[in-house]
Amino acid sequence: MNTTAIALKRTQLEAERDRLLEEIEEYEREGQETLSDVSGENNYRDHMADQGSATFARELDATLEERARESLTQIERALERIEQGTYGICSRCGAPIAAARLEAMPAADLCISCKEREENA
């Protein structure tokens, strides 16, 4: 992978990292705002269906936040690989990762073959 392509990937990864940081911050802010509801500080009794909907929404947000954090970790690792000069090289077998794979998944650290073996194991 040439330096221009790597510089472009760095820019894309940094932009995605910034977006994910904002997303995680929003989940954290929303989580703090709903703490008063969860703790029972509201002055009225919610209907059971409303409580169920609120619980579902909190669990969904927690799941989405967890996925955003996992994606952030993958992106930070990809940025580290760029700094180390190993970006675009499979971390398992050492083969180059196809440009099409990096285009689809810029944080990929495994070539297609190694990823398929990992998923089938």
Per the CB < 8 A criterion, the answer to whether 8 and 102 are in contact is no
> What residue segments make up the domains of the chain, in order of their start?
3-87, 89-121
Per the CB < 8 A criterion, the answer to whether 20 and 110 are in contact is no
pLDDT of residue 71: 97
d(CA 36, CA 87): 45
pTM of the full predicted structure? Answer: 0.77
pLDDT band of 55, cuts 50, 70, 90: confident
Which residue type is seen at 39?
Answer: S
**pLDDT digit string (tens) for 2-53?**
899 999 999 999 999 999 999 999 988 887 766 555 555 554 556 667 677 7
| Locus of tokens 């440009």 | 99
